[in-house]
């Protein structure tokens, strides 16, 4: 599975609507399918846009004791959970 690299939207007179996210490998196939769907009036008419996604990495907060310890002791944020 490849990471998404584009947000896909359609811009019409009524506004812009997000449709999907897609990786580089599937971009052209999805674009062809969306054009076909527009021809069949199965989606809004307008310009199909592909905007690049910028990857952002962050620590995952899973709700384990270590997360609460970090929030309370290192960042000074109080929680309602008791640290054990």
Q: Which domain holds residue 57?
A: 6-74
DSSP H helices in 1-84: 27-39, 65-69
Strand order in the sheet with 15-22: 15-22, 6-12, 47-52
Residue 79 lies in a domain: no
User: Residue 28: its pLDDT value, please?
Assistant: 95
Is 82 a domain residue?
no
Question: What is the full per-residue pLDDT of the chain (84 aa) written as tens digits?
Answer: 678 899 999 999 889 999 999 999 999 999 999 999 999 999 889 999 999 988 776 666 555 666 566 666 666 656 565 555
Q: State the pTM of this model.
A: 0.62
If DSSP codes are grouped into helix, strand and coil, which group holds residue 49? Answer: strand
pLDDT at res. 22: 94
Task: Tell me how many domains the chain contains.
Answer: 1
Residue 2's pLDDT is: 74
Specify if 25 maps to a domain.
Answer: yes
Cβ 43 vs Cβ 37: under 8 Å: yes
């Amino acid at each position: 599975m490849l990471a998404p690299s584009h947000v896909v939207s359609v811009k019409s007179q009524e506004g812009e609507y997000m449709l999907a996210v897609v990786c580089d490998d599937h971009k052209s196939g999805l674009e062809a399918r969306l054009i076909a769907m527009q021809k069949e009036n199965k989606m809004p008419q307008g310009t199909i846009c592909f905007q690049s996604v910028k990857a952002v990495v962050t620590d995952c907060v899973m709700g384990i004791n270590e997360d609460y310890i970090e929030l309370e002791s290192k960042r000074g944020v109080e929680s309602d959970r008791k640290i054990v």
